[in-house]
């Protein structure tokens, strides 16, 4: 029998694909990540297994004994099977740095999937909270409620001068990573992305493709993030990221309009080709599927393609990824069988609306 948690997880649209209602959404989601460690233990990478297990128990207890403890499920990452691990990666709930996949590596996941606490990754605690859209204020309130619980109940490694002590000295101080997932097809198609990445670099803002790197980012989805430096307050970090995202949103909207007006044939061609590939291909790689599905999504938001809604496309984007596909179809155990399956999955949905 399939574990109900993963069954639930693969059905729902992940937070990072944003609110499917917002047709003109540029920022899909906002994320904060806080790194904390417990005094008296070595960082996970140096700590011995039995003591890592003690750390896990301590942290798990703070969460499950908390006011909404019943809303959390604990996933033992070391024991989890590879398909389920892949699903967690595809849903951007975990990265596998540090000891995440070793004994003691766990993930406490909130039922609404907006809060995830990774235990024994690079740091003892990596608290992740996410919200659709650009909303750091609400997100920060949400995250600090959990951070308060950790700080009140566990002796967190903290130095009066240096702040929160983390395994990576670059992250010392606030121990914060703030990021947004942002969709910039207009800027990419009108060749402005190189400038954006260059400018961001100068502002110490990190831009990377969610699927693939740099300006070649598949689907034109980017992860824009700021890691706090010593002396940064959390509010400053959020303000900087919020400001740049507002600029990017404005630029992206203008670029979409300009592109649609100046090169209408290019836009229609892009969407039409994607539709052609998705509705007729018999073999689809993940890359091809994701690229075409986001192109179709662009068709939806520019009202060129109205037969599917954003939610259905988001669902296809997720279910055509390797982990999700293998979860629903365990017999598809080779890349070739998955390519055939992916194509038929997408084709079936498109045939219904054709």
Which residues contribute to the site for other proteins (CB under 8 A)? Answer: 37, 39, 41-43, 45-46, 50, 53-54, 57-58, 61, 122, 144, 147, 151-165, 167-170, 172-174, 176, 228-234
Nearest CA among 212, 352, 208 for reference residue 288: 212
The nearest distance, CB 51 to other proteins, in angstroms, is 9
Which residues make Cβ contacts (< 8 Å) with residue 26, sequence separation at least 6?
182, 183, 184, 248, 249, 252, 253
Q: Which is nearer to other proteins, 172 or 221 (CB)?
A: 172
Q: Which is nearer to other proteins, 76 or 266 (CB)?
A: 76
Which CB sits closer to other proteins, 152 or 265?
152
- How many residues would you count in the chain? 354
Minimum CB distance to other proteins smaller for 106 or for 286: 106
CB of 39 to other proteins, least distance (A): 6
How many CA atoms are closer than 13 Å to the CA of 41, on its beta-carbon side? 27
Shortest Cβ 17–other proteins spacing (Å): 30
Here the tokens at position 327 are: 């979860």
Shortest CB 126 distance to other proteins, Å: 14
Distance of closest approach, residue 63 Cβ to other proteins, in angstroms: 13
Encoding tokens for residue 121?
């990754």
Distance CA 109, CA 214 (A): 31
Helix (H, G, I), strand (E, B) or coil at 93: coil
Residue 176 or 284: which CB sits closer to other proteins?
176
Please spell the DSSP secondary structure of 4-32, one letter per residue: HHHHHHHHSPPGGG--TT-TT--EEEEEE
């Amino acid at each position: 029998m399939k574990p109900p948690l993963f069954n639930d997880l693969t059905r729902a649209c992940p937070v990072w694909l944003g609110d499917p209602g917002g047709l003109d959404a540029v920022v899909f989601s906002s994320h904060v990540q806080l790194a904390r460690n417990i005094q008296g233990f070595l960082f996970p990478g140096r700590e011995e297994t039995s003591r890592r297990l003690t750390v896990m128990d301590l942290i798990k207890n703070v969460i499950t004994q908390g006011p909404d403890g019943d809303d959390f499920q604990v996933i033992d990452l070391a024991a989890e099977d590879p398909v389920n691990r892949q699903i967690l990666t595809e849903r951007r709930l975990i990265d596998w740095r540090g000891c995440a996949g070793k004994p003691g590596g766990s993930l406490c996941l909130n039922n609404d999937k907006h809060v995830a606490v990774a235990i024994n990754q690079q740091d003892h605690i990596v608290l992740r909270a996410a919200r659709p859209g650009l909303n750091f204020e609400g997100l920060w309130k949400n995250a600090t409620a959990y951070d308060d619980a950790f700080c009140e109940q566990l002796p967190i490694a903290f130095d009066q001068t240096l702040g929160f002590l983390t395994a990576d000295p670059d992250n010392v101080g606030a121990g914060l990573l703030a990021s947004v997932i942002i969709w910039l097809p207009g800027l990419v198609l009108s060749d402005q992305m190189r400038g954006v990445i260059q400018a961001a670099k100068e502002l110490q803002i990190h831009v990377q493709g969610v699927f693939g790197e740099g300006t070649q980012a598949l689907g034109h989805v980017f992860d824009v993030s700021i890691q706090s430096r010593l002396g940064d307050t959390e509010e400053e970090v959020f303000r900087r990221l919020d400001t740049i995202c507002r600029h990017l949103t404005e630029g992206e909207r203008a670029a979409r309009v300009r592109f649609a007006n100046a090169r209408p044939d290019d836009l229609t061609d892009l969407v039409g080709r994607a539709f052609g590939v998705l509705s007729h291909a018999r073999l689809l790689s993940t890359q091809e599927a994701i690229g075409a599905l986001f192109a179709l999504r662009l068709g939806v938001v520019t009202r060129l393609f109205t037969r599917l809604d954003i939610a259905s496309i988001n669902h296809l984007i997720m279910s055509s990824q390797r982990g999700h596909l293998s979860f629903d179809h365990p017999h598809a155990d080779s890349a070739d069988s998955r390519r055939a399956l992916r194509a038929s999955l997408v084709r079936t949905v498109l045939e219904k609306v054709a």
